Structure 1
Amino acid sequence: MSLEPLLVASPIIQIHALAGMAAFAIGGVTLFLPKGNDRHRGLGRAWVALMVVVAASSFLIWEIRMLGPFSPIHLVSVFTLYALYKGVGHARAGRIGAHRRTMQSLYVVALAVTGIFTLAPGRIMNQVVFGPGAGPSLGSLVVAGGLVLAAGGWLILKPRRRRAGAVTRGLTKP
């Protein structure tokens, strides 16, 4: 592991990476701490601010060009900004279930899944984590394993539909 590839990268990539790592850490902590108190709100505000930095800075990174200077990852950035807006709106309106689902999904999709792709061969974070001589197979293996874990996380977090006639809070539906 060496920070050298990140330290010689452009300042926008450094800002993007550092904000992403901080958001990953703060978001992970926030998911497991008690909710609804001042600490949760403070960490949540910091997380939202970091996520805005991550998403906004991505529009200035054009290393993978597919549509002009942009790539499909920029669609994730648009989704992230919109989901942050909706998630904060849900919390302010008291729709806590919708807020929780939005923020959990955002954490998984915008941080965990895209973070996994930063470990792909040829990317700066692959060089940071695995070193310059690690070869493509290790990074590819980590990306594949991470995607499997992300899919498992999505299956756990996705809302489940109730069957007709299911018992709810000890009462049956009429």
Structure 2
Amino acid sequence: MNLEPLTNTSIAIQLHVVAAVLAFVLGLLQIFLRKGTALHKTAGWVWIWMMAAVALSSFFIHTIQLVGPWSPIHLLSVYTLIMLWWGVRQGQRGRLREHGITMASLFVFALVGAGAFTLLPGRMMHTVVFG
């Protein structure tokens, strides 16, 4: 592991990475926690805020510029923010199946899926993780 590329980059990228790692760990925890408990709800709210931080910080990252300063990944950030709101709304309305599907989908696709692409050769996180 080589943290130098991460420490030598912008604050937005550093925040993005830290929030993503915390969201990943909390997301894994949520899978194993008993649903509906105070711990599940508290960890869930922290996860939501970490995911929001990941999505919002992405708007300050312009490494890949396909349309002005934006790239298709920014659409995923908009989608993530909308689905976070939707997932919370479903939970508050007692639609627990829909809540679970929404949050699990965000974990798998927006966090794990998108995160996997950051580990491709030539990307900064590839250097951080694999040296």
Same fold (TM over 0.5): yes
Instruction: Indicate the residue corresponding to 2:25 in structure 1.
Output: 25
- Displacement of 1:73: 0.6
Corresponding position of 1:57? 57
> Structure 1: which 5+ residue stretches go unaligned?
132-174
CA distance in 2, matches of 1:58, 1:12: 7
Larger Rg: 1
Q: C-alpha distance in 2, partners of 1:7/1:44?
A: 29
- Rounded to whole Å, the distance in 1 between the matches of 2:72 and 2:12 is 19
1:35 corresponds to which residue? 35
In the alignment, what sits opposite 2:83? 83
Matches for 1:82-101 after TM superposition, within 5 Å: 82-101=82-101
Shift of 1:44: 0.2
Greater RCO, 1 or 2 (C-alpha within 8 Å, sep 6+): 2
Displacement after TM superposition at 1:123 (Å): 1.4
The structural deviation recorded for 1:124 is: 1.1
User: What is the CA–CA distance in structure 2 between the aligned matches of 1:63 and 1:122, rounded to whole Å?
Assistant: 12
How much has 1:32 moved relative to structure 2?
1.4
The whole-number CA distance in structure 2 between the counterparts of 1:13 and 1:3 is 13
Structure 1 segments, 4+ long, off by >6 Å, are none
Query: Match of 1:63, as an amino acid?
Result: T
Q: Distance in 2 between matches of 1:53 and 1:123?
A: 21
- Larger helix fraction of residues: 2
Per-residue CA distance 1:71-118 (angstroms, 9 max, x = gap): 111111011000000000000000000000000000001100010011
Q: For 2:104, give the aligned amino acid.
A: Q
What do residues 124-170 of structure 1 show as CA deviations (whole Å, max 9, x unaligned)?
A: 10110111xxxxxxxxxxxxxxxxxxxxxxxxxxxxxxxxxxxxxxx
SS at match of 2:23: helix
Q: Distance in 2 between matches of 1:91 and 1:5?
A: 39
Which residue does the alignment assign to 1:44? Answer: 44
- Matched pairs, number: 131
| Alpha-carbon distance, 1:21 to partner | 0.3
- For the aligned residue pairs, the C-alpha RMSD in angstroms reads 0.6
1:121 paired to 2:121: yes
The answer for unaligned runs of 5 or more in structure 2 is none
Q: Distance in 1 between matches of 2:32 and 2:76?
A: 25
Deviations along 1:38-67, one digit per CA (max 9) or x if unpaired, are 000000000000001000000110000111
Q: Deviations over 1:13-37 (max 9, x none)?
A: 0000000000000011111110001
